[in-house]
Structure 1
Amino acid sequence: MNVGAHRTAPSANVVADGWLRRYPATAGVRRRLLVLPHAGGSAGFFHSWGTAFDSGTELLVARYPGRQDRLGDPCITAMDELADRVTEAILPFHDVPLSLFGHSMGASLAHEVALRLEHRRGRSPAALHVSSRRPPHRLTPRALHEQGDEALIEEVRRLGGTDESVLRDPDLREIILPAIRGDFTIVGTYGPRPADPVGCPVYAYIGDEDPGTSVEDMSAWSDVASGDFRLDVLPGGHFYLVEQHEPLLRSVLARLHPADDGPRLPRP
């Protein structure tokens, strides 16, 4: 059975002053998952996740400024500012258990948001899910943001996950480059930082052929886990989550539910 194959979610709506795309639960909200996209990514990349979970799970995806229908909003170029803004946006939605999932740059952001929720608001997430990104104490930032456009495009091409036709089209490149440069500025100026622990389980995911992050790197996320830690290694590269969509979501779904609650897959 395909994950979410039998669920039809209501249309997504934009909340929190434009910072979140919300896919409402189709029954009473019992838990939420906040997804934080990668550098250069957008909420649209995770649209298929909107119908992937059970009827009691609500999905929220961060909408970074400077892309899609936030194209006119200035890009944020510092991790701390971005984490502050996302934390403020998510606070009204922490009335039920809230888990965080971040891919690539989004993994670092998810860790920072988790720390802010705990240290500043006294609210621990239900779980921290991190994908395809070294933990804070193992980061070795690169100054790609200081190089020309071609260097940025080549790095995006190396990592994959972006339609090649977009990268080749001069007009489309002109639209997406400011967000890419802004996000690469965040990545290039963040870390290394201490392995500050979070008070929730940490679940890590990595493709076995990721060109920038190793299985050993991902296993070091255990240093920020004060409780349970698990690492899933799936076939694929930096964007393994495209080809391994269903296995990844099955793992995430199973971990959204406490042991006595159990995942409720959509009924046929």
Structure 2
Amino acid sequence: MYQETEAQNNPWFLKEPSPLSKARLFCIPYSGCGASMYRHWPEFIGRLEVCPIQLPGRENRFHEPTYASYEQLAGEMNKALLPYMDRPFAFFGHCGSALPSYEASFQLVQRGGPSPAHLFISSQVAPHQGPYGRFLDLNDHELAAEIELLMRKMGGTPLPDIIELNTGIMRADLEANRRYIQSQPVQLPFPITAIGWNGDKEVDPSLLSGWEEYGETSFKILDGDHHQFLEAPLELISVIAEAMRLYV
């Protein structure tokens, strides 16, 4: 059973979650990125609060060591978020952050913690079908080029020092992805929504079918490329709102 930690001054949030929210959506940043990648998302979807999670080793937590495995990350994250799991909550993860979102959900169930109301997976194969993705085979120079592209998509300025720092973070994240081997599916006692994007050249929506082996799963294919979720398109927000409508 998880033990509750101090709720105030929690470094896992950029902003303290509101005590007035009816439910919370914990949004995990994907490989090489921090919580600011969700800056274009609304603070609330109805009365569902959007809570970007800041992982160690990036942005305002760059001085902290990053995690070595998804299992370690999920355990530490769940302990830190426990005070905020006092109302219905869900995880959202895209690509590289979908797997730690799943692992955090799995650990909560296995260790007797509060269970999520929902798990939202975007652009990621099921755990027992990975590791998957071309980024796993890129060298540091190629990763740096991808990070520069991503930073421009996010509206940032890709300064050399920042690119170098994020390349190291990306490499560590990819190593954790590579080591995350699950031999067989484990049924989860709450619904899953697996989201694909019809213009995604990284993860074809057809590759998400394995999630149906993890429990009650619905599949959505939305318009956009691999990075479309960054803009919080209305179609995506509507999918989330509909899945969480019973809780808000």
> Normalised by the shorter chain, which TM-score bucket?
0.7 to 0.9
> For the residues of structure 2 that align with 1:74 and 1:89, how far apart are their CA atoms?
16
Number of residue pairs the alignment of both structures matches: 241
Structure 1 unpaired stretches of 5+: 1-13, 264-268
C-alpha contact (below 8 Å) 2:123/2:205 kept by paired residues:
no
Deviations 1:52-72 (A, max 9, x none): 412x32222211112111111
> For the residues of structure 1 that align with 2:241 and 2:205, how far apart are their CA atoms?
22
Q: For the structure 1 residues 29 and 236, does the alpha-carbon distance in structure 2 shift closer, same or farther, using more than 3 Å as the test?
A: closer
Deviation at 1:29, TM superposition (A): 2.5
Q: For the structure 1 residues 145 and 231, does the alpha-carbon distance in structure 2 shift closer, same or farther, using more than 3 Å as the test?
A: closer
Structure 2 unpaired stretches of 5+: 1-6
Superposition pairs of residues 1-268 of structure 1, within 5 angstroms: 17-22=10-15, 24-25=17-18, 28-54=20-46, 56-141=47-132, 148-156=139-147, 161-163=150-152, 169-225=159-215, 227=216, 229-242=217-230, 245-258=233-246
C-alpha contact (below 8 Å) 1:149/1:177 kept by paired residues:
yes
Deviation at 1:244, TM superposition (A): 5.9
Q: Rg larger in 1 or in 2? A: 1
SS in 2 for 1:205: strand
C-alpha contact (below 8 Å) 2:152/2:158 kept by paired residues:
no
> For the residues of structure 2 that align with 1:81 and 1:48, how far apart are their CA atoms?
29
Deviation at 1:144, TM superposition (A): 5.9
Deviation at 1:199, TM superposition (A): 0.7
C-alpha contact (below 8 Å) 1:145/1:152 kept by paired residues:
no
> For the residues of structure 2 that align with 1:233 and 1:76, how far apart are their CA atoms?
31
TM-score by length of 1: 0.79
C-alpha contact (below 8 Å) 1:97/1:125 kept by paired residues:
yes
Q: For the structure 1 residues 182 and 118, does the alpha-carbon distance in structure 2 shift closer, same or farther, using more than 3 Å as the test?
A: same
Deviation at 1:241, TM superposition (A): 1.1
SS in 1 for 2:41: helix
> For the residues of structure 1 that align with 2:68 and 2:219, how far apart are their CA atoms?
30
TM-score by length of 2: 0.85
Deviation at 1:36, TM superposition (A): 0.9
CA RMSD of aligned residues (A): 2.7
> For the residues of structure 2 that align with 1:31 and 1:154, how far apart are their CA atoms?
38
Q: For the structure 1 residues 47 and 155, does the alpha-carbon distance in structure 2 shift closer, same or farther, using more than 3 Å as the test?
A: closer
